[in-house]
Structure 1
Amino acid sequence: MNNIEPSSLSVSLQKNLRHMQEEVHATSDLKIRSFTMKDDVVREAAILYLDEITDTKNVQEHLLAPLLRIERIESIETIVLGHLSVIDVSIETTFDAIRNGLSKGKTLVLIDGFNQGILADSSDWQKRALAEPDSQRTSRGSMIGFTEQLKINLNLLRNMVQISSFNVETIRVGSESQTDVAIVYLEKFVDQKVLDETRKKIKDIDVTYLLEARVIEDAIEEKKTLFPLVFTCERPDVTVSALFEGRVVIFVNGTPYALIVPTLFLHYFHQPDEYNLKSGRFIVRALRFFCWFLSIGLLGLYVTMVRFHPHWLRHPFDEKLLTQSDTLMPILIEVLFLSFLFDLLAEVSLRVPKLSIILVSLIGAIVVGQTAVEAKLIHSLTLIVVGLNYLTSLNITAGGLWGAMRTLRYLLLFLGYFFGLTGMLVGMFVVTMYMASLRSLGVPYLAPFIPFRWDEMKDALIRGDLRKLINSKHTYPHKDNK
């Protein structure tokens, strides 16, 4: 007895139908519509599709109705060329190709006596309406964000970039469930080394399935790093700007944001408001850099002052706030407790219904925080410092820098508590050297500061003149460049 499963269609319709049911494990949403077609002899035929993801009206009007009107069958090719009014249609002979097509919302036509099948696109995917970006909002400019549908995201970009050099390469990732991953770039502007490296790393991904873009980020970063080397973006306008800067954009079907490479540390401090508004050209970005240093170093500086340098505050503030403090917990425990409270509030706000967020905020901020101060568990100044630290952290969370920021915050906190200001300075120096060693697809992470490149400083510390920025070509130093 031969137990080898067939890999291609046979001329028997019934054998093909039985095997197709086995291929999809007799799933209940596989629908089979049997019918007959006219020829020298009456031929049996069938239409197969998955119910939830198929537009049945489209199948009826553009597949079933034309097939029933056929008077004579010469070949499968003549049916496709002369009778079907579907744009995306192909002729397949293997069960693997047919199974993948059905899972993408296509409809299969099988005719008895032919070992070929017709796959026609009839998908009807549920789509979320376009909405404003959640974490990268702006008071002026585009109010549209990406969605989970790859085709919609590409449509948004093509609407904004109507030039012939707009290129899209689609790669399917996953040995079982194949997910479409799109590499988008402008042929005229793209950094070719970055493009080649991006394409190679995505093609080398070997996973069973792909549901989250984090897999792509890990493949591009190669090794675990403290800082993100891939920028995540929810806005089409920011993405288009990155394309004109020579960068590469990656979309994963099912993920409502784009991945942009190469990523420099500087990119996390660029926000849409700077380019849409007249005000803030010189101040806003400097404020954001200042918030970065406060977010990672304020807690460490505070505990250093309490333990080693209370004289930094003028009398009588040093006695009232520091040396004569009557709180029950040590300063380090106070800071860790409040930091834990704020992190917990942020985590809970993502898990509870939106209507309960206000209640959670009241319980955490007023009941827990105020009660802890009145019970002398924590100092009121500690509450102010930790709150200010958290606010400065939220100012630069867009793009994926939050994780690195939180790690550095606790690192400098412990260095400041045990080793004082000297320990913090040494820690900052080590972190800076570590950042200088990082590469995003071969591009130094701290460029254009390290290595210093004067021609790229026009949009670094301050936002330069928009007309000059638009007309200037961006270039990126690579690790093999001298």
Structure 2
Amino acid sequence: MNKTETAFLTLHLQKNLDILQKSFNETSDLKIRTLKIKSEVVRKAAIVYLDGIIDTKNIQEYLLNPLFHVKSIEGMEELLDFHLSLLDASLTTKIDEITRELSKGKVLLIIDGFSEGILADSSDWQMRALTEPDAQRTARGPMVGFTEQLKVNINLLRNMIQSTDFSVENIEVGRDSKTNVAIVYLDKFVDQKVLDETRKKINDIDVTYLLEARVIEDTLEEKKVLFPLVFTCERPDVSVSALFEGRVVILVNGVPYSLIVPTLFIHYFHQPDEYAIKAGRFFNRVFRLFSWFLSILLMGLYVTMVRFHHDWIPHPFSEKLLTQSDTVFPILLEMAFLVFLFDLLFETSLRIPKNTMLLISLIGAIVVGQTAVEAKLVHQLSLIVVGISMLASSTILAGGLSGAIRVLRILFIIFGYFFGLKGIIVGLMIVTVYMASLRSVGVPYLAPFIPFRFREMKDALFRGDLRKLINSKHTYPHKDNK
């Protein structure tokens, strides 16, 4: 039996059932409920579904019960139109469509003597309750985060945007296992070039399966880059705000966060509670930007001071803290040791059970804070500098910027150790030029600063008046813009 012969349903019920069982490799959770329909003649029928992902009560009430009251069957279309009270149902003859839809929680009805089947949605996927976002928490504002269910996430967005402009494009990604991906945008506000570029790149994805949104991120970024060009977001309210700014939101079934493009560097310094509270309108983003520089430069500047510039601090302090230091390691190894310990503690805190967090915190504080200093492995001032740098980076971890911070921190330590202050300045210039060359789906990464766009400064370093922001439309520069 070749593929051409099995591409469509046949008139023979048992042959169709054999084809479906072989398509699912005789899996034990493929359930077949056979029955007989007493119409003008007695006809054999079967209901096919995958156990565990469908609501059996719906099958009983809206499919089985009506079938036992059918008096005559002239065709499957007539049966669907006049006898079955199914909301989401359609006719099909294709085997590949049937297998794909059964895997998504649909039920198939086939009857002997007819080469068409009825697919009806009766999915009952298990899902967790809506909870507060874990990484992107806020002091004030909505407390609901995305879940792993695509339909639930779209529901959350629609609940906040009750408009006919709200548009969803569904794309299936994966050859062997199809994963639903939704491209969400507001038709009235979206940047059309961004939408076209996003749609094209996702449609071009060719993978066997898709379990993580990282595949889509890599596709949208096109090449390996240090900085994230796609913003990962756990919050529906932030995603809604991005939609009104003309950006595109991408949702992947099974992934509890959204992807937002285009992503600009300045977006990582925006927080949702800025739009809900009055305080910090002119200060919060500048403070986070300062924290960014502190997180990547402080350790490098400290290494430079220890190596070349004791005169940066008054002589009594430099003599006590730097000149008379009797630590075991040279400053470069000392900083590497501390960075390793802090990263180890951070990684451990993510992997261990929550009930052991207190124990790990105590061990970390004793080992890193007290024992390492007393054993002359690290200097007290080095410990303070690394601690401040790590705390500064925690203010801007949301969205995926942490990886870039960790790499740049190490690079500036090396620049400071070997080349001093000049090396750090040159390194900062190189990083700036590199960032200016990046584009997120065609939009310059450092906009609205490079290229400078005065109109877009209304919501860059400072939050503008909310009424003006709501009534103004965001625009983005592109490659072909003059």
Give the alignment's TM-score, normalised by structure 2. 0.99
CA distance in 2, matches of 1:80, 1:139: 52
AA aligned opposite 2:458: K
| 1:281 partner SS | coil
| 2:205 partner SS | coil
Match in the other structure for 1:202: 202
| 2:114 partner SS | coil
Offset of 1:237 from its aligned partner? 1.0
| 1:316 partner SS | helix
1:374/1:5 Cα in 2 relative to 1: closer, same or farther (>3 Å)? farther
Match in the other structure for 2:252: 252
Offset of 1:90 from its aligned partner? 1.0
Matches within 5 A, 1:372-387: 372-387=372-387
Offset of 1:338 from its aligned partner? 0.8
Offset of 1:357 from its aligned partner? 1.2
- 1:180-217 per-residue CA deviation (whole Å, 9 max, x = no partner) reads 11011111111000001111011000011111111111
| 1:52 partner SS | coil
| 2:225 partner SS | coil
Matched, 1:191 2:191: yes
Matched, 1:318 2:328: no
Match in the other structure for 2:131: 131
CA distance in 1, matches of 2:92, 2:175: 20
1:201/1:2 Cα in 2 relative to 1: closer, same or farther (>3 Å)? closer
Match in the other structure for 2:287: 287
Decide which moves more: 5-14 or 126-135.
Answer: 5-14
CA distance in 2, matches of 1:185, 1:368: 48
Offset of 1:459 from its aligned partner? 1.1
Match in the other structure for 2:399: 399
AA aligned opposite 1:81: D
AA aligned opposite 2:137: R
Matched, 1:261 2:238: no
Q: Is the 8 A contact 1:32 1:48 kept in 2?
A: yes
Match in the other structure for 2:106: 106
Matched, 1:357 2:357: yes
- 1:293-320 per-residue CA deviation (whole Å, 9 max, x = no partner) reads 0000011000000000011110210011
Match in the other structure for 2:86: 86
Aligned pairs, number: 482
Match in the other structure for 1:221: 221
CA distance in 2, matches of 1:98, 1:287: 56
AA aligned opposite 1:39: S
CA distance in 2, matches of 1:472, 1:319: 57
Match in the other structure for 2:152: 152
- 1:335-358 per-residue CA deviation (whole Å, 9 max, x = no partner) reads 111110111111111111001111
Offset of 1:86 from its aligned partner? 1.2
Match in the other structure for 1:49: 49
Offset of 1:2 from its aligned partner? 7.0
Match in the other structure for 2:71: 71
Matched, 1:143 2:165: no
Matched, 1:20 2:28: no
Offset of 1:463 from its aligned partner? 1.0
Give the alignment's TM-score, normalised by structure 1. 0.99
- 1:112-138 per-residue CA deviation (whole Å, 9 max, x = no partner) reads 111111111010000111111111111
Q: Is the 8 A contact 2:174 2:210 kept in 1?
A: yes
Matches within 5 A, 1:441-452: 441-452=441-452
CA distance in 1, matches of 2:246, 2:106: 36
Which 4+ runs in 1 deviate beyond 4 A? 1-5
Decide which moves more: 2-11 or 298-307.
Answer: 2-11
AA aligned opposite 1:420: G
1:169/1:311 Cα in 2 relative to 1: closer, same or farther (>3 Å)? same
Matched, 1:430 2:430: yes
Q: Is the 8 A contact 1:37 1:45 kept in 2?
A: yes
Offset of 1:416 from its aligned partner? 0.4
Q: Is the 8 A contact 2:40 2:71 kept in 1?
A: no
- 1:404-446 per-residue CA deviation (whole Å, 9 max, x = no partner) reads 1111110111000000000010000000000000111111100
* Unaligned 5+ runs, structure 2: none
Offset of 1:368 from its aligned partner? 3.8
CA distance in 1, matches of 2:407, 2:439: 20
Q: Is the 8 A contact 2:108 2:120 kept in 1?
A: yes
| 1:53 partner SS | coil
- 1:386-406 per-residue CA deviation (whole Å, 9 max, x = no partner) reads 011100011100001011111
CA distance in 1, matches of 2:2, 2:20: 19
- 1:78-114 per-residue CA deviation (whole Å, 9 max, x = no partner) reads 1110111111101111110110011000011111111
Q: Is the 8 A contact 2:373 2:379 kept in 1?
A: yes
CA distance in 2, matches of 1:451, 1:411: 27
Q: Is the 8 A contact 2:436 2:450 kept in 1?
A: yes
Matched, 1:166 2:166: yes
| 2:120 partner SS | strand
Matched, 1:332 2:332: yes
AA aligned opposite 1:241: S
CA distance in 2, matches of 1:39, 1:274: 67
- 1:248-293 per-residue CA deviation (whole Å, 9 max, x = no partner) reads 1110011111111101000000001211111011111111011000
CA distance in 2, matches of 1:337, 1:136: 30
Match in the other structure for 1:440: 440
AA aligned opposite 1:325: S
Offset of 1:5 from its aligned partner? 5.3
How many percent identity over aligned positions? 70
- 1:29-69 per-residue CA deviation (whole Å, 9 max, x = no partner) reads 11111110022321111111111101111111111111111
AA aligned opposite 1:396: I
1:458/1:3 Cα in 2 relative to 1: closer, same or farther (>3 Å)? closer
Match in the other structure for 2:277: 277
Q: Is the 8 A contact 1:93 1:115 kept in 2?
A: yes
CA distance in 2, matches of 1:469, 1:451: 21
Offset of 1:3 from its aligned partner? 8.7
Match in the other structure for 1:462: 462
Q: Is the 8 A contact 1:270 1:285 kept in 2?
A: yes
